[in-house]
Amino acid sequence: MTASETNEASNFAPNIRPDCTDELKAALGRRIMVIDGAMGTAIQRDRPDEAGYRGDRFTEWPTALQGNNDLLTLTQPQIIEGIHREYLEAGADILETNTFNANAISLSDYDMADLAYELNYAGAALARKAADEFSTPEKPRYVAGAIGPTTRTASISPDVNDPGARNVSYDQLVAAYLESASGLVDGGADLLIIETIFDSLNAKAAVFAVETLFEQRGRRWPLIISGTITDASGRTLSGQVTEAFWNAIRHAKPIAVGLNCALGAPEMRPYIAEMSRIADTFVSCYPNAGLPNAFGEYDESPERQASYIA
């Protein structure tokens, strides 16, 4: 069964949200809005095993599924909704969907490419449910449809002995991103966030896919674009410095642009300062809580992190 046939068979009812662009811009003009925190490390607290990832629906699936965090939206929705609720209770204005790798390319590692649309729809719907329960006229809560970089890169060879080799094409990326974004907006996302960008060509494919979606639907959704500076070199994995990254995606007219992941707040701060200086839009940042210690845990406190990034 193809992805399109799966979508038709499932008959997901679209829950298209009204355009909140002006509302978000007004709020961002008044104050710092708070996005939620990490999903993967929160999932690790519950430590679901292979059976937990499979749930009832995928008990006979031929491929190992542990580690497919996006699948938990379907098999363990109470875990994902519980995480959403924790962040809402902590004061988050924006929830990200549990869809970081819910694209046909990444899901192919689990032989689940055909579930991409469903996972994005379900991820948005679950976050929407939680956000609506906490939202008030004084403090509306928004759902950001999370679009990750995929597990493959269009600019970098997977084989050190063959620099020209590629394991994904631009067109494959566009198709995967378009399917994911479609599921997110149909499931009730208020905005889209293309995040953890380490390859600008992947990012351009994602932007093209999102623009294609906007054209197909006859309207736009607010868009956040967030890159990843991988180390002290101040560059993305594909070699771009902050200004080059901004110039590569500014045509998408994002409501906000920024950086996430990889670095702790002190290390990220100078690059965020540069982005704030050069970008003609709002700026976002959500760093790691420092770098992992010898036990794989993170030592940076919320207070210390806030003092660097606020």
For the record, the structure tokens of 10 come out as 């499932």
Place of tokens 């970089």: 149
Domain with CATH 3.20.20.330 in the chain: 1-11+32-220
For strands 191-197 and 142-147, give the pairing.
parallel
* Residue 246 zone, left/alpha/beta (φ > 0; ψ -120 to 50; rest): alpha
Q: What confidence score (pLDDT) does residue 10 get?
A: 52
Quick: pLDDT tens for 209-251. 999 999 999 999 999 999 988 777 888 877 788 999 999 999 9
Residues of the chain with pLDDT under 50: 1-9
For residue 1, what pLDDT is reported? 37
Tell me the pLDDT tens digit for each residue of 148-160.
999 888 777 677 7
Task: For helices 3-10 and 116-134, give the axis angle rounded to 10 degrees.
Answer: 40
CATH code for 1-11+32-220?
3.20.20.330
Place of tokens 């493959």: 152
Instruction: Please give the pLDDT value at position 193.
Output: 98
Q: What per-residue confidence (pLDDT) applies to 9? A: 41
pLDDT of residue 112: 98
Tell me, what's the pLDDT at 8? 47
pTM here is 0.92
Closest listed residue to residue 226, CA positions, set 268, 185, 186, 190: 268
| 173 contacts 182 by C-beta, under 8 angstroms | no
The distance of Cα 241 from the centroid of its chain, to the nearest Å, equals 21
How high does pLDDT run on average in the chain?
A: 91
